[in-house]
Structure 1
Amino acid sequence: MTVAAPAAECNPRYGGSAQVQVSVTDKSGAKVVDAIAPMTDSGEFTYVFTVPAKIAVGVATVTAMPYNIDWCDDTGRNNRAEGTAQYELVSCAMPQESLTITR
């Protein structure tokens, strides 16, 4: 399975050591994948994994978001670039996609 995102058009400036957290939660609510992978300064990433055999049949949820940064600050300021110590997190929506598991 591959989870990927193209570079953002808005120049988010995540930094040279940016990472993305990829998670897969199965229908039973069990988190079967929880990984951190490299991400570019502009948010581009590709993460490849094998779907675990223990995953429950049904609809699973896949999420991928920048790891350990103010990924949902929509105040119009780039807190990462400005070095702001306290982030204002507002109107966040968890980015997610569905994955249907069958046997």
Structure 2
Amino acid sequence: MVFCLKDGGRRPAVRATAGALVLAASISGCSSSTDGEPEPPCFPPAYSLTPTTAAPGQSVTVAAPDAGCNPRYGKNARIQVSVTDATGVEVVNTTSAMNDAGGFTYTFVAPARTAAGDAAVTAVPYNIDWCDDTGRNNRVAGAADVRLERVSCVVPMKPLTVTR
């Protein structure tokens, strides 16, 4: 994933430059390590949704096990969970605790205003370039002070069927 600072008219150039760097790193098999030994790329673990069908007012749990690699998310890591209902309205958008290895469990109650039909649940590491394939810790330093824009990368999504 590539994040860009919003800086007026320079965004396309920043995107192109950042995209080229990511492409070059992925082609070269670049990786990093703190002890000189390269580590393989480490992506967030797949998350699950239980149950996959719910009515408004019912609890739904989003969870992921620890990664089988070392993502190094840090002791204050967060997961961002969002739910977009069948009409495209975002009815949940929050963060919750995530451990250094990417494991988390978050339970929410389907809001009463959630439209019936197929909703989309996403859970991605918060303020981290989680789509990077270099194996580096990509926590964005000082992200509260800058605006970031996701410009590429498919966001993992789990379907939630909302019933009435």
TM class by shorter chain equals 0.7 to 0.9
The answer to whether the aligner puts 1:78 opposite 2:139 as a matched pair is: no
Unpaired stretches in structure 2, ≥5 consecutive residues: 1-59, 142-149
Q: Which residue of 2 aligns with 1:102?
A: 163
Aligned counterparts of 1:51 and 1:101: Cα–Cα separation in 2: 8
Of residues 85, 91, 109, the one that matches 1:26 is 85
Q: Which residue of 1 aligns with 2:103?
A: 44
Q: How does 1:59-70 map to 2 (within 5 A)?
A: 59-70=118-129
| Distance of aligned partners of 1:58 and 1:6 in 2 relative to their CA distance in 1, 3 Å threshold | same
1: distance between equivalents of 2:135 and 2:62? 28
Aligned counterpart for 1:7 among listed residues 66, 69, 75: 66
Shift of 1:77: 3.5
Aligned-residue RMSD, C-alpha: 2.0
| Separation in 2, partners of 1:8, 1:99 | 24
Percent of counterpart pairs with the same letter?
57
The superposition leaves residues 36-85 of structure 1 with CA deviations (integer Å, 9 ceiling, x where unpaired) of 000000000000110001100100000000000111101x241439x8xx
Bigger helix share: 2
Distance 1:2 1:77 in 2: 28
Q: Which runs of 4+ in 1 moved over 6 A?
A: none
Which residue identity does 1:16 align to in structure 2? K
Structure whose alpha-carbon radius of gyration is higher = 2
TM-score normalised according to structure 2 size: 0.55
The alpha-carbon deviation at position 91 of structure 1 amounts to: 6.5
CA–CA distance in structure 2, aligned partners of residues 25 and 90 of structure 1: 20
Distance 2:107 2:162 in 1: 17
C-alpha distance in 2 between matches for 1:80 and 1:70: 5
Q: CA deviation at 1:90?
A: 9.1
2:99 partner amino acid: T
Q: C-alpha offsets along residues 3-47 of structure 1, whole Å, 9 cap, x if unaligned?
A: 000000111000000000000000100000001000000000000
Return the structure number with greater strand share.
1
TM-score by length of 1: 0.86
CA contact (8 A) 1:72 1:90 kept: no
